[in-house]
Structure 1
Amino acid sequence: MSANDDESQEQQDRARITQQFIDAIPHARALGMRVDELGPARAVISMPWAAHLVGDPRREVVHGGVVSALMDTCCGAAVIMHPAAPRSTATIDLRIDYMRSAAPRQRITARAECYHMTRSVAFLRAVAMDEDGDNPVATATGTFTAER
């Protein structure tokens, strides 16, 4: 088996573990989160619009806390997918800038990238988009533990 095959198998194993981790989180299941893509130090997770997630019933806009939970979960998945292979992670700090309301009745997708990793801290950037996809719903920067 070549080094590339070993790396590929390791990445597949981390992707499987990350998917199981997301599936085991009760709030991720309650929000209908779906892992769309996993790769080295990155993750894409989405969730559908649902009436019980609305924060503004008049406009049918999803609550900001739901967007926050999606971005936090996506960042955690990106940490686990880092080639340094941390066993677990937890949020230290997550700053979210809400740019606009998500469009009513549209799926929201978060993309996160772990752009730097020290021995024990991971640094991330993330963006959340709705199906319109032209402008972000929210952007985030964060730090997460990287337990090895």
Structure 2
Amino acid sequence: MTGKVRKFDPAEATKFFTARGHSGWLGLTYSDHGDDWVELELPWREDLLGEEGQRVLASGPILSLMDMASGMAIWRTMDEFSAIATLDLRVDYVRPAREGASVFGRSQCYRLTRSAAFVRGLAHDGDAEDPVAHIQAVFMKIAPQGPVVPNG
């Protein structure tokens, strides 16, 4: 990382986002980050399993992990928190996560435009060279709305 003091700190932001809501219920935690990427951890839990009789994490929690890691990577790249919306998030599952293993989601924001952010990443259960899934995503940047000024 550079010596520049950044305004958006994913480690601190994760504390806020995981103190409530869906991310908090999933138990997502901060793992690591760089200038344009963020990695979060989804701990393995019995109540997050998919099919009956299978000891495999369901795909939904992994999708949520990757969506949150992607948003955080965008905010890290922009160096600020601002409203974004997921337009398209493609997840290609390569294999099931190992039983009892946390899944790590690492997303990188590789391109920003005036209105969009492009992200790629992977989910792994301890070895990034043997991923559980790959993702590709596009997010819409939502411009802040100023005060409404009546005609007049």
Structure 2 length as normaliser, TM-score? 0.83
1:80 aligns with 2:75: yes
Matched letter for residue 41 of structure 2: S
Q: Secondary structure of 1:90's partner?
A: strand
Residue in structure 2 matched with residue 45 of structure 1 by the alignment = 40
Instruction: Flag the structure with larger Rg.
Output: 2
- Where in structure 1 are there 5+ consecutive unaligned residues? none
- Which structure carries more helix by proportion? 1
Question: Could you tell me whether the CA contact under 8 Å between 2:40 and 2:65 is conserved in 1?
Answer: yes
Question: Could you tell me whether the CA contact under 8 Å between 2:40 and 2:106 is conserved in 1?
Answer: yes
2:30 to 35, 40, 43: 35
What do residues 66-116 of structure 1 show as CA deviations (whole Å, max 9, x unaligned)? 111111110011011014645222211101101011111100001000000
2:136 to 115, 122, 141: 141
- Where in structure 2 are there 5+ consecutive unaligned residues? 144-152
Residue in structure 1 matched with residue 49 of structure 2 by the alignment = 54
Deviation >4 Å, runs of 4+: none
Residue in structure 2 matched with residue 14 of structure 1 by the alignment = 8
Question: Could you tell me whether the CA contact under 8 Å between 1:79 and 1:146 is conserved in 2?
Answer: no
Q: 1:110 to 1:24 in 2, by over 3 A?
A: same
Q: Secondary structure of 2:50's partner?
A: strand
Q: 1:21 to 1:117 in 2, by over 3 A?
A: farther
Q: Over aligned residues, Cα RMSD in angstroms?
A: 2.0
**Percentage of pairs with the same residue:** 30
Aligned residues: 141
